[in-house]
Amino acid sequence: MSMVTAIIIVTVIGFIGAAVLVVAAHFMHVEEDERIGQVSSVLPGANCGACGYAGCADYAKAIVGGAPVNKCVPGGENAAKAAAAIMGVEAGDVVKRKAIVACQGSLDHTEDKYVYQGVQSCAACASLYKGSATCEYGCLGYGDCVKACKFDAIIVSNGLARVNPAKCTGCGACEQACPKKVIWIRPESEKPVVMCANHDRGALTRKACTAGCIGCMKCEKNCPEGAIKVTNNVARVDYSKCTGCRICMNQCPVHAITIPKVV
């Protein structure tokens, strides 16, 4: 077989293959609902996954398929209303959510048990003897949350991460990035928070951090609504009962209960 014949045969096979693909594409083509593009255009494009879907495009498809329009945390009320208008449905209530760092273990309240010189990452540090801080439950301050935040809403200052609620969208990326799980996403509120995650007994907690909850139960005993309980050596607030009276804040001897400060 000559070189020319081989080239002709390969070319013919290529044309036949291309024709088959064109015919298959024609018969298998599925028309995309134009509303998907419209809904996608009113979403913020953060692709943070807070809605429960892989990204904004995936969520737009889900909305057209019948999913609620009020699940976009960064987009909030504006995105919900815009998507609702496209879909001809009610937007529903949008609960604003913010991240908080439930820890006060700055360098003023705790110290390191060893000098960490490895990769500047909380996850990496946490894998080595539960982290460098004397409190094994607190913020490590190496900024994994800062790197994860797409909205520049977190800083690390004095060894402790802090959230700027004015910039925070409540997307939850920082919560997922924190190996110590001291970042929580919760409805925006002025109610008190127990800024501690240490489950050790009070004496041990006190040695690790001077701002840690010691489980003394003064907050629990003095709350008029029964909204705060000490469980596993740390106090927790039931926000369905809490009225925001702040008596617990005044009763806490170590000031572990407070309103998260704006950075």
Local mean pLDDT, 10-residue blocks, the chain (263 residues): 71 78 65 86 87 89 92 89 93 86 95 93 95 95 96 95 92 94 92 96 95 96 97 96 96 94 64
pLDDT on residue 29: 52
pLDDT at 31: 65
> Can you give the pLDDT at residue 85?
93
Can you list the domains of the chain with their CATH numbers? Answer: 34-87 (1.10.15), 97-258 (3.30.70.20)
Q: Are 134 and 234 in contact (CB under 8 A)?
A: no
Dihedral of CA 181/186/188/192: which sign?
Answer: negative
CB 248 within 8 A of CB 257: yes
pLDDT of residue 28: 62
The reported pTM is 0.76
Residue 226 pLDDT? 97
pLDDT of amino acid 65: 92
Residue with tokens 């000559």, as numbered in its chain: 2
- Packed helices 76-87 and 56-64: angle between N→C axes, nearest 10 degrees: 40
Predicted confidence at residue 47, as pLDDT, reads: 86
The DSSP 8-state label assigned to residue 212 in this structure reads: S
pLDDT at 94: 81
> What is the reported pLDDT for 263?
61
What pLDDT score was predicted for residue 256?
96
